[in-house]
Structure 1
């Protein structure tokens, strides 16, 4: 378990150990808003783990103010896309040596209406809105998965992305300050219609363990079924440009 908050991460790990009887649950620190933290985490994993069979890219921030990371990146794109991009690429050697293996990246239905502006990913020249930034980052998740699947053809590593549903978690903590009316609505009985965290994890689990999905590498899922993403999520030209720019930003070779 890769967690930014080790105290809460260890508490969750202890609950898993207790409920499953599996004591082999390890918690390690990882802050996806920090390239240094990502590189440190990956170095430890590559040195200490014999295999990486499944990588689930599940961290995220939603609709926060325009914050910058320690590396000078806009927070939502940094955490939701660039952090996972670097993490995945650094762990690819171990994923390939563990093949057949899988990479699952949690996106959102919010990718619809999103625009990935490769020339202005951090909203330096265009007006920043928390929602548009979030949509861009979630669209980036799908474009990343789509291009990664092509690069991994024949490697034995499959990759998938998904919309988990609207879930009762703390992900929406910033919605109240950015969009008071929407925040009020989310505080009403509509909360009862949201998925529980257990329900919300099912599509991730489905993509991680269901036999025979290898032929669908690069696909987008929701409610444990393949779904058709928005047209902008099928733009291979933008996917390639995003890949190249992401490599530049995090210090990776394009090859």
Structure 2
């Protein structure tokens, strides 16, 4: 009897876990023939699955990442899975603002179009520093993408209607910004939360800056995804998280669905500056909708990255 009870309880928990992992799929079939998509961190995880999905829709896909060997391998895999040869890679280190500037210069010289920019790359809650002295989370997740987007914004306007997607996380709700110390390095997890809140504010202010200029922008929470972020941590932590991710997190292909939706959907285009979860607009906490804070962060970011 005890054995039957144990089996029944285990199956019940397994069923609940599976229900928790169910997510919506993007059902919009819009093609992207003739359009160019740039995806940061497109060599793995959600970025790679997004690259495959958009290449299958006919887009020219450029993935940008730090390691050229990993990028080249990813490009071969994306081409194979998408049945598209129109995929390439460029080197970009978001932890180095000089690299961001060099990347944008090269991209603008070699690519005549930019229709969709997907700010996907990100760092988990690690206590480390960028080459410019910022915390790795804030420097990569926000400042690197802030500078990248601003330097590529003229091309996005030229190719309007165009879109900017910035991946964030629901953990934004656990912190508020401290303009006395945006790096906030005492507790790495809270540093990560602040960087994700910065992504939300950035998307909102970008929508205001580009209003009426043909560029729409979205903050996208892909859900909790079985990606490779644990590679930055110890072996024991990785083993533990593999079990947790298998039970609670969704595969990368499913995590990419909301990203794909915001990249192609006409319905999403009606909500520029919005926050999207599970292929639909979602409501932010009131403090995360403060336009004054969003503008203040934009101005502070301009100073930090020395954007004239």
- TM-score, scaled to structure 2: 0.76
The reply on whether 1:171 has 2:232 as its aligned counterpart is no
The reply on whether 1:234 has 2:289 as its aligned counterpart is yes
Given that residues 223 and 250 in structure 2 are in contact (C-alpha distance below 8 angstroms), is that contact kept between their aligned partners in structure 1? yes
Given that residues 161 and 220 in structure 1 are in contact (C-alpha distance below 8 angstroms), is that contact kept between their aligned partners in structure 2? yes
Q: Which runs of 5+ in 2 are unaligned?
A: 1-62
| 1:56-91 deviations in Å (ceiling 9; x for gaps) | 0000001102x2211111111000000000000000
Q: Which residue of 2 aligns with 1:162?
A: 220
Given that residues 257 and 279 in structure 2 are in contact (C-alpha distance below 8 angstroms), is that contact kept between their aligned partners in structure 1? yes
Q: Which residue of 1 aligns with 2:65?
A: 3
Q: Which residue of 2 aligns with 1:128?
A: 186
Deviation of 1:245 after TM superposition, in Å, equals 0.6
Aligned pairs for 1:213-232 within 5 A: 213-232=268-287
What is the CA–CA distance in structure 2 between the aligned matches of 1:64 and 1:121, rounded to whole Å? Answer: 15
Aligned pairs for 1:130-209 within 5 A: 130-174=188-232, 186-188=241-243, 190-209=245-264
Q: Which residue of 2 aligns with 1:102?
A: 163
The reply on whether 1:72 has 2:133 as its aligned counterpart is yes
Deviation of 1:40 after TM superposition, in Å, equals 0.6
Deviation of 1:212 after TM superposition, in Å, equals 3.5
Query: What SS does the aligned partner of 1:118 have?
Result: coil
- RMSD after superposition: 1.7
The reply on whether 1:252 has 2:307 as its aligned counterpart is yes
Deviation of 1:204 after TM superposition, in Å, equals 0.6
What is the CA–CA distance in structure 1 between the aligned matches of 2:194 and 2:64, rounded to whole Å? Answer: 24
The reply on whether 1:86 has 2:147 as its aligned counterpart is yes
Given that residues 111 and 230 in structure 1 are in contact (C-alpha distance below 8 angstroms), is that contact kept between their aligned partners in structure 2? no
The reply on whether 1:118 has 2:173 as its aligned counterpart is no
2:92 to 30, 34, 39: 30
Given that residues 103 and 160 in structure 1 are in contact (C-alpha distance below 8 angstroms), is that contact kept between their aligned partners in structure 2? yes
Count of residue pairs brought into register by the alignment: 246
Q: Decide which structure has the larger Cα Rg and report it.
A: 2
Deviation of 1:183 after TM superposition, in Å, equals 6.3
- Larger deviation, residues 1-10 vs 55-64: 1-10
What is the CA–CA distance in structure 2 between the aligned matches of 1:145 and 1:55, rounded to whole Å? Answer: 12
Q: Which runs of 5+ in 1 are unaligned?
A: none
- Assess, with a 3 A threshold, how the Cα gap between structure 1 residues 211 and 183 changes in structure 2: closer, same or farther: same
- TM-score, scaled to structure 1: 0.91
